Amino acid sequence: MSVARPTFKPTTLLALCSQVNQVCPKCGRPLFIKKAKNWVKDYEIAHIYPLNPTPAELAILLGEQKLSGGPNDECNLIPLCFTCHKLYDTDKTLEDYRALKKIKERLLGQDAQRRIQYEYQIESDIATIMDALMSEATTEILDADYVAKEIDTKLEGEISNLTKQKIKNDVSSFYLFVRNQLAEIEKTVPGQGVLIAMQVKLFYTKQKGLKLTQQQIFQNTVGWILSKTPNGTEEAAAVVAAFFVQNCELF
């Protein structure tokens, strides 16, 4: 006996569409199109693990991990454009299932990070450092060979060579500058610089507890710092994160 397709609440549809930034996560097609003066939906909610699996689907998905206990749980739902949904439902392969499940896992991870970024605070003085990085010239640099050895010791196979080299460059060029900015903050408000370092360490500890790779932790830290500084840039946030790698709050 087949299970009837549910009617989803408007808030559930809104949350699912927001999760994929209102585009089909498989092909990038917008989920809403404008006809005349009205917006109309151009998507359907897909079940990643089938709501009513066919015998063939049961066979190919035998033993595969599911994202939830029930097929109508939000963890098993994802908006797809009509074309992608039809293809997924009528010609599903094991590779298709795993690929869509991986997309959903990434989206769920992003949602979790947004909650963590909100919950974990960092002093607003971090914006002062970001502003200084974007507006002031830096003249002091660290010895590149020394930096390379230090970073290579801390960052092993869990981070891309491109990210590692970027961290080395940022530490060499900006470490002393950021350290001096923190010292100035410390002079103005004693203990504030230490507090910022402790908050970064606490955020790192949370990330490490999630068993993420160094690549993911560094990227999440950059995103967290940026989320706390509305006028900052990703480049400046990456410099601040690189400082804390060298300073041992990260890794």
* pLDDT tens, per residue, the chain with 251 residues: 677 888 999 999 999 999 999 999 999 999 999 988 899 999 999 999 999 999 999 999 999 999 998 999 999 999 999 999 999 999 899 999 999 999 999 999 999 999 999 999 999 899 999 998 888 867 666 676 767 678 888 887 689 999 999 999 999 889 999 999 999 999 999 999 999 999 999 999 999 999 899 999 999 999 999 999 988 899 999 999 999 999 888 88
Rounded distance between C-alpha atoms, residue 179 and residue 175, angstroms: 6
Specify the pLDDT at position 251.
81
Domain contains 3: no
Q: Considering all CA atoms of the chain, what is the largest pairwise distance in Å, rounded to the nearest integer?
A: 73
User: Which residues lie closer than 8 Å to 12 by C-beta, 6 or more apart?
Assistant: 74, 77
Alpha-helix runs per DSSP H in the chain: 10-19, 55-60, 82-90, 94-119, 126-135, 144-154, 161-188, 192-209, 214-227, 234-246
Question: In terms of domains, do 51 and 103 share one?
Answer: yes
Specify the pLDDT at position 1.
63
Question: In terms of domains, do 109 and 86 share one?
Answer: yes
- Total count of domains within the chain: 2
Specify the pLDDT at position 69.
86
Rounded distance between C-alpha atoms, residue 99 and residue 6, angstroms: 24
Domain contains 2: no
DSSP 77: E
- What is the rounded end-to-end Cα distance, in angstroms, of the chain? 53
Rounded distance between C-alpha atoms, residue 211 and residue 214, angstroms: 9
Specify the pLDDT at position 250.
80
Specify the pLDDT at position 225.
96
Contact 226, 234 (CB under 8 A): yes
Domain contains 240: yes
Specify the pLDDT at position 71.
92
3-state secondary structure 4-71: CCCCCCHHHHHHHHHHCCCECCCCCCECEEEECCEEEECEEEEECCCCCCCHHHHHHCCCCCCCCCCC
**DSSP 3-state of 212:** coil
Domain contains 133: yes
Rounded distance between C-alpha atoms, residue 244 and residue 251, angstroms: 9
Question: In terms of domains, do 126 and 224 share one?
Answer: yes
Helix (H) or strand (E) holding 93: none
Question: In terms of domains, do 100 and 153 share one?
Answer: no
Domain boundary among 88, 117, 146: 117
pTM for this entry: 0.83
Question: In terms of domains, do 101 and 152 share one?
Answer: no
- Cβ atoms within 10 Å, residue 226: 20
